[in-house]
Amino acid sequence: MLQDKKQEIRKFMMMLAVVNLAVFAVCYRGIVRSYNTTMLALSYRYGFTSRSLIGTIYHLVDAVLPIDMINYDAAVGFALAVTGLFFVVMMIFFYQCLKSCSEEDLKNSEYLILILSVSLVSTFSFPYNFFRVDICMIMMSLLAVICIIKDKAVWLCVPLSVLGVMFHQGYVFMYFNLILVLLLYRALSLWNRDKKRAVYYGGVFLASFLLASALFLWFEFFSRSDGALYFDSIQKEAEKLSYQGIYHSTLLYHEVLGIDLASTEAEYFAVNHNQIIVFTVVCLPMIFVAVRFFVNIYRRAEGFWEKAKYLMVAVGAVTILPNFILKIDYGRWIMAVVVYYMGIVLALLAMGDPIVKGEVQRQAGSLQKKPGLVFYLMAVILLIPYLDVNISPFVRHLASMVNRNILHWY
Amino acid sequence: MKKENAVFLAEMLYFGLLTFSRFFDHKLQEHDLPFGFMKEYAFAFGATLVYLILFFALGVVLLQKAEETNRWNMCHMIAFSSVFLAPFYLHKSYCGTLDVYLWILVMAVFVLVLLLPKEGREKKEYALIILLVVVEIFTAVAAGVRGKDAQTLLGGTQFVVMILFFLPYFYTAWKFFSGLLQGAGKEQKRKYLLYLAGGIPAPVIWCLLGDYSRVILYGFAYYILLGMMFMALGDGYFAEQIQRTKDKVKEYLPIPEVFILYPLIFITFWMMGNENIPVEKILELQ
């Protein structure tokens, strides 16, 4: 790596660390919501059940350490440690992207990383999503993407995908798309040059897809058979782990007893639909740039398989659509969309995709010629953090004004 | 108007609309004001709109007056001033305060000065410095001391943490002023020293009153606004020093825009934070 590039990356990582620390300082409140502490009460002691991996790890740590971890303060400490680990993995991912991309793509990658980084740090430091299991899912995807970018130990994508689903079966809709799209992208890109390697990537794709799908089906439909036997003990632990003993009852009824309480969420769909419209309108400039970006890439691709490859890259986020239709945590789904698109472009720049490089340079070139670029970066600050039912404080505020004065949907 | 300026102003308007949506809460708190009608919601809201329109108009005129070589720097300084001046008086704690009316006066005077013929630049610059210093001190005394209108949105610990995070700005300001004063002539030095010293009293008063948000606002807004005015009035030496400082900033910031957006992180979450809700309320949410 050239000395100038090394120095630039070092300066950028230091700047990013300071910005991330500032974002963490303003967002972190030292509390963990009941949903996330209650999840720690679930573990594989009660069977191979969904969302129990993080609780199992927690109980292992409790068994190993000479202190009692089954209390709220220990849960907060654990949450801080895992969040810290997440930020480290995130920074390693960014560093690898910068190290792998060419010098002419460095600046553009830096801008994308800045946007992704403040979005992630703010969302997962802010109390609503602090210690949300999403950080574990994102970590698995980022580690897998590093392997794909470096073209080393790509087989790790299989166990990382499995772990992602074990953290939360919703992984197959949310962050798994990054791994799948990039594996298939590699397979299609290598097919004419190195068939053996292409088949290897195809094999890893198939293994990841099949195992993750099988696990999803197990967790979703078969894993809760003996829940009633263990409910009381899990409930007692959840009380000890949660602030003032207030645990998340809906989570336990759903995960342990298999009672589907989706009907209780129906009233929030009106909020979701109002907010997604408002969010789309506000983000129209960014959506316009993104659509133009992918349309141009598709047009520049030649041949059926090339076009199919870039079409897959462009629409890879469609895996999140079932979440938008069936579930109400729109803030988390928007975060997943942001992670996908930022992550995929960063990965493709790191892998030196010529069409993506060219288009990024063209679009970034025209944006960087305008001093008003700073307003779009500032818009990102105003739009974060992403929450759960409400997309973000900004959207919640604006959407409630729209609803009160125009729509009257809720 | 040039197309590039129109595009920039449209982007500034976009940011302004986002800021309005983020921070304006349709609520008005009780403030000590000289006239009863100023306490009415409609009047306070109207005054806030007038303030924002005048701020935008100032941006328009500044861009028109900026020389082509300084256009980028002027744009960035306008963006930097927007970070502080756009959201501040939208928050319910500051909406409708005495500050708004005095800022309306300041903005109106600044626009008028820029529209006047170019002669008498030095006198205009002195007048602007004195006007802003007097207005800021008057606001601090009238609203803060007499009106007891100091707000406590930003806690003492948060303020100290912010100051620590803002140390790069103090370093940059020190480098800027030392460079500015080093090469300046006798007359210029007097003006720049007045400019430097004039920004201190009001933030100190607000700091003693415990309104740390206003410390930040007045501390930054004073220097940025007057800096823009100097450039627009044709102070070439000042503009060169701005460029030199910007070049230095670019040496240690790979993304120079971070210099502008960084305070917005603290403004959004701490200074203007509607998210400053108690921990227990967040925990109640299932």
Cα-only R_g, chain A:
22
Q: Which of B63, B82, B268, B281 to mutate to test the interface with A (most CBs of A within 10 A)?
A: B268
* A276 touching B (Cβ < 8 Å): no
Alpha-carbon distance A265 to nearest alpha carbon in chain B (angstroms):
12
- Interface contact B172, partner A, CB < 8 A: no
Residues 103-162 of A with CB under 8 A from B: 107, 110-111, 114, 118, 126-128
Query: Which pLDDT tens digit goes with each residue over B171-198?
Result: 999 999 999 999 888 889 999 999 999 9
pLDDT classification of B155: cutoffs 50, 70, 90: confident
Chain B contact present for A375, CB below 8 A: yes
Is B253 in Cβ contact with A394 (below 8 Å)?
Answer: no
- Tell me the longest C-alpha to C-alpha distance in chain B: 66
Nearest CA of chain A to the CA of B216: how many Å?
16
Per-residue pLDDT averaged across B268-285, rounded? 66
For residue B261, give Cα distances in angstroms to A133, A304, B63, B257, B276.
Answer: 30, 43, 20, 6, 21
Q: What angle do CA B248, B221, B57 make, to 5 degrees?
A: 105
- Which residues from chain A sit within 8 angstroms of residue B56, using beta carbons? none
Q: Does B283 touch chain A (CB under 8 A)?
A: yes
d(CA A368, CA A373): 7
Decide if A159 contacts A212 (C-beta within 8 A): no
CB of B279 within 8 Å of any CB in chain A?
Answer: yes
Residue A128 with chain B: CB contacts under 8 Å: 282, 285
Going by pLDDT thresholds of 50, 70 and 90, the confidence category of residue B11 is: very high
Query: Can you tell me whether residue B31 is helix, strand or coil?
Result: coil
- DSSP per-residue letters across A171-189: HHHHTHHHHHHHHHHHHHH
Please tell me the predicted confidence (pLDDT) of residue B286: 44
Residue B274's pLDDT is 53
A408 conformational bin, left if phi > 0, alpha if psi -120 to 50, beta if neither? left
pLDDT of amino acid A261: 67
Give the pLDDT score at B37.
Answer: 84
What does the mean pLDDT of chain B come to? 91
Candidates B72, B165, B261; nearest CB to A377: B261
How high is the pLDDT of residue A260? 73
Q: What is the pLDDT of residue B196?
A: 97
Nearest-CA neighbor of A375 among B271, B257, B54?
B257
Cβ atoms B100, B47 nearer than 8 A? yes
pLDDT at B68: 84
Q: Are the CB atoms for A354 and A309 separated by under 8 Å?
A: no
Contact with chain A for residue B274, Cβ under 8 A: yes
A245 inside 8 A of chain B by CB: no
Low-confidence ranges of chain A (pLDDT < 70): 1, 224-225, 261-264
What confidence category does residue B275 fall into, taking pLDDT thresholds of 50, 70 and 90?
Answer: low
Size of interface A-B (CB pairs under 8 A): 126
Instruction: Check CB contact of B248 with chain A, cutoff 8 Å.
Output: no
What are the residues whose beta carbons fall under 8 Å from the beta carbon of B239, sequence distance 6 or more? B67, B69, B70, B73, B230, B231
Q: Does the beta-carbon distance from A394 to B22 stay under 8 Å?
A: yes
Q: What residues of A are in contact with residue B273 (Cβ under 8 Å)?
A: 26
Side-chain-facing half-sphere of B190: CA atoms under 13 Å: 6
Top residue of A23, A26, A94, A98 to mutate, by most chain B CBs within 10 Å, is A26
Nearest to A378 among B10, B264, B270 (CB): B264
Q: In B180-219, which positions are buried (b, 16+ CB within 10 angstroms) versus exposed (e)?
A: beeebeeebeebbeebbebbebbbebbbebbbbbbbbbbb
pLDDT given for residue B281 in this prediction: 63
pTM comes to 0.94
| Option in A22, A29, A282 nearest B265 (CB) | A22
Sign of the alpha-carbon torsion through B188, B189, B190, B196: positive
At B121 the pLDDT is: 87
| Chain B residues with beta carbon closer than 8 angstroms to that of A238 | none
Pick among A374, A384, A386, A397 to test the B interface (most B CBs inside 10 A): A374
Cβ of A217: how many Cβ atoms within 10 Å? 13
Residue B284, pLDDT score:
59
What integer pLDDT is reported at residue B279 of this predicted model? 63
ipTM, two decimals, is 0.93
- Residue numbers in B near A12 (CB within 8 A): 254-255
B68 touches A: beta carbon within 8 Å: no
User: Over 90: is that where the pLDDT of B273 sits?
Assistant: no
Contact: B269, A27; criterion CB under 8 Å: yes
Q: What pLDDT band is residue B153 in, cutting at 50, 70 and 90?
A: confident
Residues of A in contact with B8 (CB under 8 A): 370-372
Burial class (CB in 10 A: 0-12, 13-18, 19+), A369: exposed
| Confidence band, pLDDT 50/70/90 cuts, at residue B4 | confident
All residues of chain B having their beta carbon less than 8 Å from the beta carbon of residue A109 are none
Q: What does the pLDDT read at residue A401?
A: 87
Per-residue confidence (pLDDT) for residue B283, from 0 to 100 = 61
A293 shares contact with chain B (CB less than 8 Å)? no
User: What's the CA gap between A88 and A94, in Å, rounded?
Assistant: 10
**Could you tell me which residue, A344 or B283, shows the higher pLDDT?**
A344
